[in-house]
Amino acid sequence: MRAIKQHTVMIVPAVFAAGLSALLALACTGPSERDVPIPAPNDLTILKNWMVGTFSSEAQAQEDPAFSHIVLHMRQIWAAEPDGYWLYVEQAAAESEDKPYRQRIYRLSVWEDDTLASEVYEMPDPLRFAGAWKNPEILDTLDRKNLIPRTGCIILLNREGDEFRGSTHGRDCLSSLRGASYAVSEAVIRPDEMLTWDRGFDASGRFVWGSETGPYHFRRLDNR
């Protein structure tokens, strides 16, 4: 599969979400179906470093009431795994940060050539892992074999200068949220911010959920 070149203002989530829920925004293979070794430090490592951290959309929410103040956390987990970089993603409204509305596991790996992939997995009973971004030991009981792949929701990313851009492909990412038939996730990853745009559409292609005007802008709060 080749990368889909993006020409959009906008991620991560959801996330990078997300979004990182869905923050921390993506056909997904199972965790053990496509084992790709991590190469020497390169764009994949850079992408991981840019995605790991705590981000907020507060500035955007203050300027535009159409956007909510969302906090996005992304933390690397399972660092010993040889088949890619694994991230825990937690996304919540700022006023209820202890009650995340989106929790995901992302796997970053090399897809082919200069294309990178962010695969998305759901977690069983996710709320029991809330707060794992600051207490990663909570995830000790999470078995990779129990992760649920979001089939079709892989995001393929390419580097363009000082940013990575990518999206899901066509109508591949299925979604039944609020009457949707499929979802589209787009992302731009930069050293100190992530732009994520998640939208749902019904079978006729009519917009049914998400932001109509553009992506969420998540600015980095930590210094890595």
Tokens of 140: 């000790």
pTM for the full predicted model: 0.79
Domains assigned to the chain: 43-219 (2.40.128.590)
Measure the CA angle with vertex 164, ends 28 and 5; round to 5°. 70
Residue-wise pLDDT for 165-182, tens only, equals: 999 999 999 999 899 999
Residue 151 has what pLDDT?
Answer: 87
